[in-house]
Structure 1
């Protein structure tokens, strides 16, 4: 049995799955956070799993890496972990300071920061979309003129598609720039990197490649599909594993991703690599040095028997993960998310009762949102619930989930935006 240091967490998805998994594996953990209240739910009173399952909860400033290291010196741990993107680099530094294993590569900053990733792909002569970096409105405007519309504007160090916008005009570009300028700190009160990444819009289906690397050896687990809603924003509203691809596409995509991981120095950890299937071939959207969110790890386990979150824990302890596939009898599994269609106060809902009797739904969760006000959805933090579906015969799991969510109708008392 090991005792692990967990530094912050996502509130949803993996943040809910990791704590009970650690307990089931016989491990304990200390959770360190700067703000326990961040894990309170706006839709209920139940204590969040990261707090509920912890052996101890330590409160200190987790955004101050040097101060955090000094704070932790009296304690003993066997490994360091986080599932929250905003603390990956801090976890790596803490692990180095105490000579502990972690589930991240040494070059994790190159992976985490989108502009450094693009530059690494350039150095390796791997195809990138046409892109520019900018640090002021004048440079942003010039970069847009050089790339042409449509294009995508990205902050280089945020997560969950936050402030990633599809831009069709100079007016939309100004709006996106102003929104980011008014957001100097990220969602965990860390100062943002001021670089703007502008990329030519890549048309085509988007998928993600899930992989595990241990001491330089990379194993591809499979490819997950993705659907997007909320234009001009990029809100993920569904995933299915495995993705249904044209013949020969699997090899093309996975080979390209292997080369990209090598280019950025990804030799240890779990990667969730997002890829656009363009007419010119696969192109990297971004590389996430962690398990996939949005319950993709659960979909993979349902189909293959491989628990990527367990592999993530094993990597955090310096253990080589076991990645043998098992015949689960399930051909595809999907996660579909309930995204509010507008802002306002939710006054009533119908259709949730139909989920319990749906034979294709493995499980579902809906928040207690009646009477709650929701903002206009702009990123993945907007979800009101989700369904997990599965298909024992083919690739219909996504279809089953989409049909289930169509039955859920929300009523609103609109508010002025």
Structure 2
């Protein structure tokens, strides 16, 4: 039987070539459209050398990529990279394939347009910034403090809180000095401490499949606390939130997906838990980073495979959602090792590697930091690795995360040794 041809527009994102090929086994013939010599993808492609079909799109504009893709007679197309959503939408429209339309993709990748599209679901003040001189007027409309972030971007790169026109001007000038571009200034959404006790993040994400315009919830994912200013530090599954709150989160998320006109694909929606109820932070039109691993490990569900099936128009079924709640167990987690915001002189990497000895930790995947990881402006891209594990309950996980954070601080601030591991911590 001849398998259908599936184009994967590849770049740095939430699924590497090895994972894509594994999930595509028996579903389709995968062809990667990418820039194979780009540093962000070269190492990943090296892992599947000789086993993957790669089409080089280096130096081609969108129209040229569209014509090239049409010549491959594709049956489906998908991307797992935020940076390639617009190109993928253009190719899909040119070839008549299932994906977000170019109009929907504009709203998914443009934070200013997305706030406009969600106005009927949620009113969140958002002003476009193109020049430091615009900051005072923008802050007057949005209020303080406010969140400054790139109009187009992901991973909390160049994202921070500002409290005055002078601070806003300075930050915007700093961010745009080397790479000019539009920014947005948004209303800050404060979390409700009553909903998020110490030890947990004050937001969640919703992972969904959208089939013919109908969202199907895969899960609600909890979070550890952010690293300043807004850097994500991991995932917790199931989320440590009451069932009623999780239901409210999903209801809001589904209204947002419909308001954006999403018809087809995988979505990753971040939702803040505030005193006024759940509020949308942002909707992403692709699989969230590291989400595939934790849903596979905790739920036995392959979200990469689901995305491929959706792209090919094959039937897809969401799993039975996990029961939320702070004592629902077992609890899977990922904890990202994010550098502090201030300059540091790290100790020996063995301090981090020794975290594997903590009860509940299954894997420590780290590398020594270099200039790529320096500075909070890198957002989550600055992480030097991820710790994977499982705890018996959210209570046990809270204690384990405390130990992980304490040990990580010893490393970042130059300690030469670590305390003995306490038994029975998780």
| Shorter-chain TM-score range | 0.7 to 0.9
Which residue number in structure 2 is paired with residue 380 of structure 1? Answer: 380
Q: Work out which of the residue numbers 3, 10, 14 in structure 1 matches 2:5.
A: 3
Paired residues, what number?
Answer: 395
**CA displacement 1:156-198 (0-9 Å, x = unmatched):** 211111112111222320122113322446xxxxxx5x3x321
Cα–Cα, structure 1 residues 206 and 88, in superposed 2: closer, same or farther, change >3 Å? Answer: same
| Bigger strand share | 1
Which residue number in structure 1 is paired with residue 330 of structure 2? Answer: 331
Q: Distance in 1 between matches of 2:75 and 2:105?
A: 21
Which residue number in structure 2 is paired with residue 287 of structure 1? Answer: 283
- Check conservation: 1:15, 1:50, Cα contact below 8 A: no
Cα–Cα, structure 1 residues 305 and 35, in superposed 2: closer, same or farther, change >3 Å? Answer: closer
Cα–Cα, structure 1 residues 345 and 17, in superposed 2: closer, same or farther, change >3 Å? Answer: farther
- Check conservation: 2:24, 2:308, Cα contact below 8 A: no
Q: Work out which of the residue numbers 206, 209, 212 in structure 2 matches 1:212.
A: 209
Describe the SS at the equivalent of 1:161: coil
Q: Work out which of the residue numbers 272, 276, 285 in structure 2 matches 1:276.
A: 272
Q: Distance in 2 between matches of 1:305 and 1:398?
A: 24
- Check conservation: 1:344, 1:375, Cα contact below 8 A: no
Please report the RMSD computed on the Cα atoms of aligned residues, expressed in angstroms.
Answer: 3.1
| Bigger helix share | 2
Describe the SS at the equivalent of 1:270: strand
- Check conservation: 1:389, 1:400, Cα contact below 8 A: no
Q: Distance in 2 between matches of 1:273 and 1:62?
A: 32
Further displaced range: 213-222 or 21-30: 21-30
Which residue number in structure 1 is paired with residue 19 of structure 2? Answer: 18
Cα–Cα, structure 1 residues 227 and 93, in superposed 2: closer, same or farther, change >3 Å? Answer: same
Cα–Cα, structure 1 residues 77 and 402, in superposed 2: closer, same or farther, change >3 Å? Answer: farther
Q: Work out which of the residue numbers 109, 132, 140 in structure 1 matches 2:127.
A: 132
Cα–Cα, structure 1 residues 53 and 77, in superposed 2: closer, same or farther, change >3 Å? Answer: farther
- Check conservation: 2:373, 2:383, Cα contact below 8 A: no
Q: Distance in 1 between matches of 2:276 and 2:319?
A: 34
- Which blocks of at least 5 consecutive residues in structure 2 are unaligned? 192-201, 415-426
Cα–Cα, structure 1 residues 212 and 104, in superposed 2: closer, same or farther, change >3 Å? Answer: farther
Cα–Cα, structure 1 residues 15 and 237, in superposed 2: closer, same or farther, change >3 Å? Answer: same
Q: Distance in 2 between matches of 1:48 and 1:330?
A: 37
Counting only pairs closer than 5 Å after superposition, residues 78-97 of structure 1 correspond to structure 2 as 78-97=75-94
1:350 aligns with 2:350: yes
Q: Distance in 2 between matches of 1:353 and 1:73?
A: 47
Q: Distance in 2 between matches of 1:254 and 1:385?
A: 30
Cα–Cα, structure 1 residues 365 and 53, in superposed 2: closer, same or farther, change >3 Å? Answer: farther
Q: Distance in 1 between matches of 2:255 and 2:304?
A: 24
Describe the SS at the equivalent of 2:376: coil
Cα distance, 1:228 vs structure 2? 4.6
Cα distance, 1:139 vs structure 2? 2.7
The alignment's TM-score, normalised by the length of structure 1, stands at: 0.84
Q: Distance in 2 between matches of 1:401 and 1:24?
A: 36
Cα–Cα, structure 1 residues 395 and 255, in superposed 2: closer, same or farther, change >3 Å? Answer: farther
The alignment's TM-score, normalised by the length of structure 2, stands at: 0.82
Q: Distance in 2 between matches of 1:29 and 1:129?
A: 40
Describe the SS at the equivalent of 2:348: strand
- Check conservation: 1:151, 1:168, Cα contact below 8 A: yes
Cα–Cα, structure 1 residues 34 and 254, in superposed 2: closer, same or farther, change >3 Å? Answer: same
Describe the SS at the equivalent of 1:311: helix
Q: Distance in 2 between matches of 1:394 and 1:259?
A: 29
1:237 aligns with 2:233: yes
**CA displacement 1:92-147 (0-9 Å, x = unmatched):** 1101212233477862221221111111121x2x2222332333333332011232
Cα–Cα, structure 1 residues 17 and 333, in superposed 2: closer, same or farther, change >3 Å? Answer: farther
Q: Distance in 2 between matches of 1:398 and 1:14?
A: 28
Which residue number in structure 2 is paired with residue 203 of structure 1? Answer: 190
Q: Distance in 2 between matches of 1:313 and 1:247?
A: 30
Q: Distance in 1 between matches of 2:58 and 2:176?
A: 25
**CA displacement 1:366-409 (0-9 Å, x = unmatched):** 12x17877422320111111111113445644643452353344
Which residue number in structure 2 is paired with residue 60 of structure 1? Answer: 57
- Which blocks of at least 5 consecutive residues in structure 1 are unaligned? 186-191
Which residue number in structure 1 is paired with residue 244 of structure 2? Answer: 248
